[in-house]
A and B are shown apart, each in its own frame.
Chain A
Amino acid sequence: MRIFRGPESVPHVSEGQKTAAVGELHRLAGDIEATSPGFAGRIRSLASALEDALPSAALAAFVEALSRMVRFEGAGRDAGLALVALPPAAIAALGPEGFAAWCDAVLRIGAHSTRGAQAFAVGSLASLTRAPAAIVHLAETASAVALLAERHPTDPLVQRFASAAGQAIETRSGAVVGAWAEYCEAALFGARRSGSPLEPLPEITELSDEVLAAAVDLAASAARVDRSKGRRVFAAAPGALAGVPPASRDSVTALARLLTQDAEALLDVLEFAGPVLRRLDRPARWMVVDLATEIAGRARSAVPRFLRSVLRVGEAVGFGRDLEAFVREGLALAEIHPVAAEAYFALETRGARAFLERHDAAVVLEDVESTLRGYVHLIEGARLPVLGVEARGLFTPLASDRESISVGKRMSVFPIWEENFTLVKLQATLAALWRREGAFDFSLARWLGREPDEKDGGIEDFFRRFASPEAASGLFVHFEALRVMPKLAESYPGLASDLREIRERIFPSDRVSAEAGPLAAILFLALGGALENVTFAGVGAEDVRALAHMARGGIATVYDSARCTTVFSDLLAEGSLSAVLDLDAFMAEDPMMQYLLDLEDAESAAAPGEPKDAPKRPDESYEGHGERSDETAPGIAADEDVLRAYLEQNPDLTVRRSEGPIDPNGLFVAGLTGGGLDGETPERSGASPDAVFALARMGRQSRGVHLHDEWDHRIGDYRVGWCQVHDVLLEGDSGEFFTSALARRRELLPEVRRQFQRVKPEGYRVLRGLLDGEDFDLNAVVDARADLRAHHNPDTKLYTERRREERDVATLFLLDMSASTDEEIEAKPSPAADDDAPPEVASLVARAPKEKRRRIIDIQKEALVIMSQALEELGDVYAIYGFSGHGRNQVELFTVKSFDEPLNVAVRGRIGGIEPQRSTRMGAALRQAVACFRNVASRSKHLILLSDGFPQDFDYGDDRRSNVYGLKDTAMALREAERGGISTYCITVDRAGNDYLREMCPEKRYLVIDEIDELPLELPKIYSETTRRG
């Protein structure tokens, strides 16, 4: 009797076999009756139930398995119980082979660990009953578990792993479990603190067994180097690989395998590979992974940086030969120093930036903004802000008001920078022309034929009336461009002739045929094409021609453009336009026409039932786009569009992991998180003086942030925009320090004055050998007389004259306000404590709290007090700045006295307010100090640096203890100052200063002061020495 339909292969078996099997069951029950009567009873009752329910072959296999388990010393109980609990249907499904394989697997583990075998038996039996096909994974899985059990027979983790492995065979192959076992062994076993949880295999169904096994294998390799990092890789790798496009997963794994020695790099690479590769089309993906693999072979740590920046680099230079050249250049640097390659691939060095600039055809507004602003000022006579917007096709949307000029943020339509710039210039010129030509005078009420009233709508309201406002706005700017083009050609014939070049890029031979359709004609005319070169055809063609005619006659108004916009928006909505416009033909001729596809996209977006903003899962849309670009546009030129489309459509991509120092040059990350350029890091936009970031610390207000490059001697290049120097106004006291210091050091002043008397020019300088002058030069006269007597021609330059000498010196004192200046100096009887001090001075001194505890900085301040007092008398221009900071993004330059401030109460107070702060990042401070000289016209400029030790900051070079990096950077900053015509002088009160100052400063331009107390006297001496030639 067959109740269950067994597998077809199950042969009909005789009743005799069945009886034998049942008999075997009873015998088994008898065997264990003594030790576990309950179990025996269950077997007996099972025997009668199964006899009816199962075909005899299945029954025989089951009995065989049960008896093997029961016989299996110690381990058999749990496995047996699990077997007994199996429903008849499952037993039938598993079949004889299944039981045989299962038993083999369990016993194989059991050879090394009975507990492991039991756990595996229970786990795998559950899996097998759910998925009988998993039987093929049994043997391999079991051998992996057995291997583990053999090596770690006593570890309790084996049991847990065996159980998990048994469950895993339901979905994963033995190879995966094998890798997992290796990972567990490396990461968990033998740890001093046991009890670490066993991490389950990640459930990511879209990963194939091979990829998952490879991912787990990566974690195992990493764990062999460092357990905890291995665990992080285990947690991150499978998910990260799932984010990588399927075709590239193998190569990314191979790349990652090269990095297992450096888990941080590995994690970074895994994290970025997906987001980056998804944004690329297939050939570019191959190339990027290949290049990354090549880099991994020579500079492991540079790979993540390369991946982070590759989108930006690719956008600039394309994914072709130039990208390869970029990588070659970086690899050549790796030969010099690994750090050099890291910095290069992170685009931190000037070399890398220069490479991009050399190869980038895109016009980035940031770079040309001031040129454009000047240009608009020139043509319009008004200072208008130039704003970057996303261009629609070649043109930018009409600005919201007439008080600004909008141009494309980044235009890379054409392969040559100059052509892209012409386009941007056209955008700016059009925006300027629209201001005059009434584009902003549009009144919706008038358009609708109503009387204009207060609630009169503008052009934006007009666009909103369309199914797709974007498409309408895009069309409108094209018509507006077309409308003012005759004016442009008249006013700016040069620009008009330049337009011809970019027009010919799109329309070879500068003509538009009838087949191209009206959209092409519009574009052609909007780019200044001649009306005669257009053959009109198709719907709407007449409207375009009429507009062009009116424009030429100078009678077209903004309403005519609006009318055409209406006509064509309707055509787009009807869908009749794409038939008119043979895009494919254009695409084949010139990939630049890609942008017209945008118009078509806008059309489809306007169609009902297909909402444009429907949320899409990032992965789907990546793949979708990637494929489309592969099929429709084989050329490289389309890549950038696709790339941009990705970035725009997926603002929800964020970076999950931000451990370690935040890398400001992970710019593409910034672009992703912030959704485009607006989210760029402050460093990038910080170059503009408007960017003011408040310093939360100590309530000080940063008045502006300046970016400075920093010299890295290891890479032999500057790191671009590396330091943020904050301009901070120092808060001062009410001047008591100044007054008391002056009193304390009053005996110095006459001496300093004497010093300065010598510096000060006598007022006049005698010039000799003049043709005419105030007095005879007697020597010359005698010579002339002698010459005459000797019948020679006498020299006629017989006069002398006194000329007024003018001293023209500007000096900046840059004071180190690092924490080390807080150091106390040995107490010395203060001269001001003398009894003969006038009573008011004595009282002032007594009130000065600093008197008790005199620090290096107090002496430095005193020196500045004396200097500034004396300089006021000398009349030289001078400024005082202090610097300190913490880290490269927080260098602070404190303004004590700027060049154009007099020595007023506020300045006196600020000198008193100088207090020790934090670190000493000298290079950045020097560069900013040099920038302070910008508006100083003096003939001779000097910078005197007062410090108390070597340059130092926590991130001033990799190694905190080594100060080589800081020294080299400071030396470079000093050299830059000298090149800029500013002579520098370094004074330090550090007795060890001789060594490094010699290295850092120009020869004979430094001084080490042994006795700090002498600084107030020495400083004026040095000043008069250095500035004497001024």
Chain B
Amino acid sequence: MTVAAGAENAPYYLPIHDEIEIFTAAYESRLPVLLKGPTGCGKTRFVEFMAHRLLGSVPRRERVPPLITVACHEDLTGSDLVGRYLIQGDDTVWIDGPLTQAVRSGSICYLDEVVEARKDTIVLIHPLTDHRRILPIDKRGEIVEAHPDFLLVISYNPGYQSVLKDLKHSTRQRFVSIDFDYPPRDREAEIVRHESGVDADTALTLATLGEKVRHLRGAGLGEGVSTRLLVYAGQLIARGLAPRRACSVAVTNSLTDDPEMLRSVGELVSALFA
């Protein structure tokens, strides 16, 4: 459930716009941040990068990492975030949830795809996101005041979430919003090259593939291909897989199940890769 950014090695992140400046400024004012953008465009990596940059050098208490990430899903409840009583031996003991851990230890808590979570979790984060910066734990009758370093970051993908699962305005308006999108081709090529270890030409072709596949955004292909998938394809190629095959398994087949679309994208792949 939690992913930590190692203190030693800074995660790789290639800024596209001014997102680093915005995030830094928001953090300095302890303003909660909302990252908007399609899947696999680098939101999570960005948070990891920022956590490392802002908190990496701060001494950590109880070995709690500077970033605690929670991937939200539709069965995620408030208790999953806050904590619960568990039976240990003859006793019940309270175990802090990831959010409580972050609040206490002053980490950045990143709730990925927050609209997926059940409604009660959203209410839970409200008092943390305004001037109060508190987390009430009703099961223990406790109110935890947030550590000064604590920051709540949530992400949200406006593309594929249905109308039913939109973020409420009362929630949305508590955050500084940073828009993310897939990087332009040369930047993306650089990212793919760095992350996968393929040569620059292949990376550029992969980025071209990404750019062209994104032509179909909204025309049957939801969001187009993510940078992450391109990196995967690059990694497979770097491991010696034939490029067409690598793109087929890492890109084409992952994008859609529509046979026509599969064939069209397959033809694009075979036009781009020898």
Check if B260 is an interface residue, CB within 8 A of chain A: yes
Q: Are B86 and A796 in contact (CB under 8 A)?
A: yes
Q: Are B273 and A493 in contact (CB under 8 A)?
A: yes
Within 8 A of A (CB), among B50-89: 77, 79-80, 84-87
- How distant is B42 from chain A, measured CB to nearest CB, in Å? 22
List chain B positions with a Cβ less than 8 A from chain A.
77, 79-80, 84-87, 90, 205, 208, 212-213, 215-216, 219-220, 244, 260-261, 263-265, 267-274
Q: Are B84 and A771 in contact (CB under 8 A)?
A: yes
Using A370-B260, A371-B263, A494-B244 as known contacts, say yes or no to A378 and B274 having CB atoms under 8 A apart: no
Q: Are A772 and B264 in contact (CB under 8 A)?
A: no
Given contacts A371-B263, A492-B271, 19 further A-B contacts (CB under 8 A): A370-B264, A372-B267, A373-B264, A375-B267, A377-B215, A377-B216, A378-B212, A378-B215, A379-B268, A379-B271, A491-B272, A493-B273, A493-B274, A494-B272, A497-B274, A772-B80, A788-B90, A796-B86, A796-B87
Complexed CA–CA distance, A492 and B271 (Å): 5
Contacts of B85 in A (CB 8 A): 772
- How distant is B177 from chain A, measured CB to nearest CB, in Å? 28
Check if A731 is an interface residue, CB within 8 A of chain B: no
Q: Are B212 and A798 in contact (CB under 8 A)?
A: no
Q: Are B213 and A378 in contact (CB under 8 A)?
A: yes
Q: Are B269 and A494 in contact (CB under 8 A)?
A: yes
Check if A784 is an interface residue, CB within 8 A of chain B: yes
Considering only CB atoms, which chain A residue lies closest to B263 in the complex?
Answer: A371
The number of inter-chain residue pairs (CB within 8 angstroms) is: 78
Complexed CA–CA distance, A371 and B271 (Å): 13
Contacts of A497 in B (CB 8 A): 274
Check if A425 is an interface residue, CB within 8 A of chain B: yes
Within 8 A of B (CB), among A459-503: 491-498
Complexed CA–CA distance, A771 and B260 (Å): 45
Complexed CA–CA distance, A429 and B273 (Å): 15
Check if A381 is an interface residue, CB within 8 A of chain B: yes
Q: Are B271 and A494 in contact (CB under 8 A)?
A: yes
Complexed CA–CA distance, A370 and B266 (Å): 13
Complexed CA–CA distance, A777 and B88 (Å): 18
Check if A328 is an interface residue, CB within 8 A of chain B: no
- How distant is A217 from chain B, measured CB to nearest CB, in Å? 56
Q: Which of A372, A493, A495 contacts B205 (CB 8 A)?
A: A493
Q: Which of B77, B205, B268, B273 contacts A378 (CB 8 A)?
A: B268
Interface residues of chain B: helix, strand, loop or mixed (majority): helix
What sequence of 0s and 1s flags, for each residue 349-382 of chain A, a beta carbon within 8 Å of any chain B beta carbon? Answer: 0000000000000000000001111110111111
Contacts of B213 in A (CB 8 A): 378
Using A425-B271, A429-B271, A493-B274 as known contacts, say yes or no to A374 and B87 having CB atoms under 8 A apart: no
Q: Are A375 and B268 in contact (CB under 8 A)?
A: yes
Closest 5 CB pairs of A and B: A374-B264, A497-B274, A381-B215, A495-B271, A492-B271
Within 8 A of B (CB), among A773-803: 784, 788, 794, 796, 798
Q: Which of A373, A425, A493 contacts B272 (CB 8 A)?
A: A493
List chain A positions with a Cβ less than 8 A from chain B.
370-375, 377-383, 425, 429, 491-498, 771-772, 784, 788, 794, 796, 798
- How distant is A875 from chain B, measured CB to nearest CB, in Å? 14
Q: Are B264 and A377 in contact (CB under 8 A)?
A: yes
Q: Which of A374, A496, A771 contacts B274 (CB 8 A)?
A: A496
Q: Are B274 and A380 in contact (CB under 8 A)?
A: no
Contacts of B272 in A (CB 8 A): 491-495
Complexed CA–CA distance, A315 and B216 (Å): 36
Complexed CA–CA distance, A383 and B244 (Å): 25
10 inter-chain pairs at a CB distance below 8 angstroms, sorted by A residue, are A370-B264, A374-B264, A380-B215, A383-B219, A491-B208, A492-B271, A494-B269, A494-B272, A771-B84, A796-B87
Using A377-B216, A493-B205 as known contacts, say yes or no to A772 and B79 having CB atoms under 8 A apart: yes
Complexed CA–CA distance, A429 and B268 (Å): 10
Contacts of A798 in B (CB 8 A): 87
- How distant is A138 from chain B, measured CB to nearest CB, in Å? 75
- How distant is B19 from chain A, measured CB to nearest CB, in Å? 26
- How distant is B93 from chain A, measured CB to nearest CB, in Å? 11
Contacts of B84 in A (CB 8 A): 771-772
Complexed CA–CA distance, A847 and B79 (Å): 63
Complexed CA–CA distance, A788 and B260 (Å): 60
Considering only CB atoms, which chain A residue lies closest to B84 in the complex?
Answer: A772
Q: Are B264 and A375 in contact (CB under 8 A)?
A: yes
Considering only CB atoms, which chain B residue lies closest to A370 in the complex?
Answer: B260
Contacts of A794 in B (CB 8 A): 87
Using A371-B263, A493-B205, A794-B87 as known contacts, say yes or no to A378 and B216 having CB atoms under 8 A apart: yes
Using A378-B215, A383-B219, A772-B79 as known contacts, say yes or no to A371 and B260 having CB atoms under 8 A apart: yes
Contacts of A379 in B (CB 8 A): 212, 215, 268, 271
